[in-house]
Structure 1
């Protein structure tokens, strides 16, 4: 019997309730589900399969997040005891452990869970060199007021014509990242400030509901564009009764200072995990 039970869309609120009991650690799981639910309701096609170990939401979530050729599996659990989650990972036939897999924004309990199953799934674990701090602007915060755009500046959505530019300047770009930014733009989740119709500063809200790729072109820096853009995007989120959160790389002090200036609170550390199959002679035959 398969250990990972597919969770239909109508069952996702049960998982979200479980993640709410584990706040703020559950922020990633909760908003990933909410964002994907809204995408589905709006007719945006994206393969995001949600599974629960043995069908019990208390065991967490394993979501297969298809990103073109990039294989990503989101693993989140609302409790520290991950024994049943580990057993499900060991037994599942849904995940092909012969592939290279990314497990994003893993908190401490998930990293320990993965380490406990490595031998059984015949995988090697590599943690990204830089961990990230989760920063959250609570949805109960008041909206930002007195926001004024400079002369010649406008705020708007990104379009497909901007993909090449934003991808070329993304520190995490990979073979599938142009496709990825195209997906976010189709979701109307890319925002920018335009100076004389030229894109000068941008940010995205990604498929799990997190801010990502905040960037200002070099010649336009130190003019307050990033702060202005974040205020505008956060107000959009607050109007929709949504928390705004980001994964801020440890050591990126300028970004962290900006988030804190705007009222974001710093919480726990998460890390991107890279799983690679161990190649030995038995695998080759």
Structure 2
């Protein structure tokens, strides 16, 4: 049997991903809470057919959470807790678990993931139509509610 470079993780393996994203705070917030929310849904019996893929079976290589793929497009989260996305890029290029011929929506990708996807887009014959990377705003508890000036000057990403 030929095993894919991208490993499909069972729910009990998601804790390792959460820990890696927690150690990459605040950049890892979206990865952490995505895995946390998906595991809570699974525990409630709400399985929408999503799967969590992991390059080479190592949490530090990031994750691809395929949220919805039964419609005309695929929704996925791509997260990487490292600045170096080369392992993630290699896995995305070589996997047989993702049908790159379909329309794919990557939800709120961090900037380093956007750059990695742009580097491999030609290799996987993906046409990038629109990119809007995640901008993360961390506010102190003392910051005024809805203070746009404060938020815009304290941006990460």
Q: Is the 8 A contact 1:24 1:267 kept in 2?
A: no
Distance 1:88 1:106, change over 3 A: same
Q: Is the 8 A contact 2:138 2:156 kept in 1?
A: no
Aligned to 2:135: 133
Number of corresponding residues = 151
Aligned to 2:46: 44
Q: Is the 8 A contact 2:6 2:56 kept in 1?
A: yes
Cα-Cα RMSD: 2.6
Q: Is the 8 A contact 1:135 1:259 kept in 2?
A: no
Whole-angstrom distance in 2 between the partners of 1:9 and 1:268: 30
Q: Whose Rg is larger?
A: 1
What are the within-5 Å matches in structure 2 for residues 1-285 of structure 1?
A: 1-66=3-68, 69=71, 70-128=73-131, 132-136=134-138, 258-260=145-147, 267-269=155-157
Whole-angstrom distance in 2 between the partners of 1:84 and 1:132: 21
Q: Is the 8 A contact 1:58 1:79 kept in 2?
A: yes
Other structure's SS at 1:126 match: coil
Deviation at 1:118, TM superposition (A): 1.1
Distance 1:66 1:57, change over 3 A: same
Whole-angstrom distance in 1 between the partners of 2:136 and 2:146: 11
> Structure 1 regions of 5+ residues with no counterpart?
142-256, 270-285
- Give TM-score, length-normalised by structure 2: 0.84
Q: Is the 8 A contact 2:110 2:133 kept in 1?
A: no
The one of the two structures with greater contact order (alpha-carbon pairs below 8 A, sep at least 6) is 1
Other structure's SS at 2:136 match: strand
Other structure's SS at 1:105 match: coil
